[in-house]
Structures are given as C-alpha cells and as structure tokens.
Amino acid sequence: MKDLKHLIYFENLLQEANNDLVKQAKEEGKLALGYTCYFMPEVLLDLPGCFSVRLRAPRCTSPDIATYYLSARTCHYARSLMERALEGGFNFLDAQMATETCTATCRFQEHLEQKHLDSVEDMDIIQNPDFFVSFSDVPFKNTENSYDHFRKQLRAHVLDELTAHFGIDTSDEAILKAVEQHNEVCRLINEIGDYRKLDNPTVTGYEFAVIQLCTLTCPKHLLLPYLRETAEELRTREPDAKKQFRCKAVLCGSENDDPDFIRLIESCGALVVCDRYCYGAVESRIPIEIPEGADPLDVIARHYLLTSNCPRFMPQDEMRGRKKRLAELCSEYHADGLIVASNKFCEYWSYERVIDTVIMQRDYGIPVCSIEKEYINAASGQLRTRFQAFVESVELKMLREDRKNG
C-alpha cells in the first residue's frame, strides 16, 4: 500500500513525551497534565487552557536507577516511567492527575509528589516549582454508589484542583467544549479503525497503533488537522493486490505503547485488526453522549466506569462480560485468533491472561497466543518464534475447517 502522508511525522511524535506538538502547546501557554490510566478521564484534562499527556517511556530498556525507588519485582512499565522521570523526561508537566488503580503506577506517581529533603532543593524529581500530583480514588464495582463516589472524586481531585492551582474554567460549558473535541477525535479514530474490518484492510495494525498513540500523547487541538487529513487519505487508499498477511488477530492485554511490538507480530504473518489493551482504541474512543440537561461530570464518571474492560473489576458477571466482549471483537473484526499479552509483574493482567487463555479456547473455540513480556521488547527472538508458531497453528485450524466444510 502507498505510505500514509503523515506516518513518519506521527512516528517522530512518539519518540519523546515532550514532543514537538507538546512544546508548541506549552509555548501557547497551555498546561500539560500527565496521567497513566484510562480511569483518569482525559476529556477533563483537555479543558480550555489544558491538554492531556498519557505518559510513556519509549526506548527505556534498563530502568536501573528506578529500581532504587521501586522494587525489581514491580512491573517494567512503572519502573520505566520512573526512570524517564529521573532523567528529566517529564519536567514539562504542570501536574500529574493520578488514579488509585494499580499499586505499581501509584507508587511511581507518589514518588513524583515527594519533595525529598528541604535542604536539597535539586532533588525534586519533577523540576517545576508549580508541579503537583492529585490522586482520585476509582471504585472496583459498577453500582450507583460507585458512580456517585467517582463523580465526587473527579470534582474534588481534578476539577477543583485545576481551578485552585491554575484558575482553569471547569464549568459545564467548558466541559462540554472538551467533550466536543474528544468526540471528534473518537469519530476520526473509529472511521480509521473501521477499515480494519475489511477482508483486505487498508490500514495495518502498526499504522493504527501509531495514530491512536498520538491521540493519547499529543495536544488534540494541534493533532486534529493531521487526523482529518489521514482519515481523508484513507477513504481512497487502495489495498495491496495480494494480501500481506496469513491470518488476522485481536490483541488484548496490559500497557502496550510500543508500536514495534505490533510490527513484530505483523512481520510474523498475523495482521492485528483490533486492539483491546490499555492504550488501545476499543474503549478509549467511544464517544461521550451527554443528554440535554444532564450533569456533564456525572455522565463522564459513568462513561469511564461502564466502558472499561479492565481486569481490576472482579465480579463474576464483569469477568464473563469481558470474555464475551473479546469473542464479539474477534467476530466483528473477522479475526482468526487472539493474542493476550501482559507485562511481567502486572498484578491485574497476569491473572486475566491465564483466564483468557483457557476460557477463550475452551468456551469460544478461538486460538490464543498467551505472552508475558517486558514493557519494551529489546530482545524479540523468543517472541518471534512464539508468534510464528501461533500463525502456523491458526493456519492449520483454518485448513482443517475448510476441509471439513468442503
């Protein structure tokens, strides 16, 4: 297929957290608000005068210094973020809007908050005198009490804090304006993602991952012109005459913000057609519909709790619902198999991955490749072998089914 016009530019934006668009927004006087988890509603961090940045640590393969702050048995994602913060990679942040979701990222964000010894001024991890961290508690269940609690948390620890520290307008009108921008991003990403449902998709999993990641890590008002052009370009993009893949797969799991991991999968013959992982688009790009007269904050609180498929929700009906949703995604995107990838020491996905591996094969008949990986995959040889074997097993299953039906 013809290369996308802005793909190289998008790739360059992902090389650093403080990328060119972030720098441009900062020069405009806007505030950079960091976050790590889906449960921190990015739409509330994109209010007029602010922009959200979901933190990443690209190319961080050896978080040695961070291990003094976080245990070596802490997930590589949290340690990599800590390492990048110690290197000064997040000094552009004006605040970190944290969530009480997983222990590892909580510990990382608590370290950002520390001022260390008063007598050693240069020991602040974030070199910004106005920087602060605010934590919001996230419920473990979807109940009316949970929605009410979460709404109060977002009011007290996000909106009120932004007003107190920076004088940000957090009125309903400001929130609705941020929702409008958010929904345009969702519309464009969903339009691009729909091309992955074609028999011969006109966008690869790698390309989609790069574009989706940019929407999470760049100021949306500056990124939108590039997204609009890319969507327009894809409307007339022709697929390769011959399919460049041997099977299609849905990828799910924990934090994966490394497009090269998807490139590795696709180089083994499995086209990634859907992403149900922490940085993916399945949940994060569902538009927020606010009925006329409704409280925007209440709707947003419910939206982010109800749309999440995070394994921190442990009630049996929630767990069964996640498996059913995975099966529906495999059907909707015409996938031949499922790849479940969890980061080493991820407390939620390590358990979920085992359950998915058993149930998706036993109850739904979907081939599963189960992977435990590092945050950044410096050594890809073993993974390549696993993915090649998975593709071959899927091909054999497809061949047996063709013979049975033929």
Would you list the domain boundaries of the chain? 19-170, 242-405
Return d(Cα 116, Cα 113) in angstroms, integer: 9
Report how far Cα 107 is from the mean position of its chain's Cα atoms: 19
**In the numeric block, which tokens belong to residue 308?**
């999440």
Under CATH, what is the fold of the domain 242-405?
Rossmann fold (3.40.50)
- Which residue do the tokens 């964000």 mark? 109
Is it the case that residue 401 has pLDDT exceeding 90? no
Dump pLDDT digits (tens) for 57-83.
988 878 889 988 888 888 889 999 999
State the angle between helix axes of 381-405 and 259-267 in degrees (0 to 180), rounded to the nearest 10.
Answer: 50
- Which residue do the tokens 């590092």 mark? 374
Is it the case that residue 221 has pLDDT exceeding 60? yes
In this prediction, residues 235-252 reach a mean pLDDT of 93
Name which of 228-237, 308-317, 324-333 the model is least confident about.
308-317
SS3 234: helix
Which residue(s) pair with 98 in the sheet?
135
SS3 284: coil
Return d(Cα 269, Cα 204) in angstroms, integer: 12
Cβ neighbours of 402 (radius 10 Å): 9
Return d(Cα 26, Cα 17) in angstroms, integer: 13
Q: What mean pLDDT, rounded, does the chain reach?
A: 92
Answer yes or no: CATH 3.40.50.720 is held by domain 19-170: no
pLDDT of residue 1: 86
Closest by CA to 202, choosing from 240, 167, 232, 250, is: 240
Instruction: Write out 325-361 in H/E/C secondary structure.
Output: HHHHHHHHCCCCEEEEEEECCCCCHHHHHHHHHHHHH
Q: Mean pLDDT highest for which of 50-54, 104-108, 392-396? A: 50-54
Dump pLDDT digits (tens) for 135-184.
999 998 888 999 999 999 999 999 999 999 999 999 999 999 999 999 99
- Which residue do the tokens 């799910």 mark? 252
Which residue(s) pair with 133 in the sheet?
96
Evaluate whether 207 touches 4 at the Cβ level (below 8 Å): yes
SS3 42: helix
pLDDT of residue 349: 85
Name which of 48-52, 253-257, 272-276, 326-330 the model is least confident about.
253-257
In this prediction, residues 118-122 reach a mean pLDDT of 52
Cβ neighbours of 116 (radius 10 Å): 12
Return d(Cα 393, Cα 117) in angstroms, integer: 57
pLDDT of residue 379: 60
Residue 118's pLDDT band (cuts 50, 70, 90): low
Higher pLDDT: 355 or 92? It is: 92
Residue 117's pLDDT band (cuts 50, 70, 90): very low
- How distant, in Å, are the alpha carbons of 170, 255, 281, 364 from that of 325? 35, 19, 14, 11
Sign of CA dihedral 221, 129, 98, 177: negative
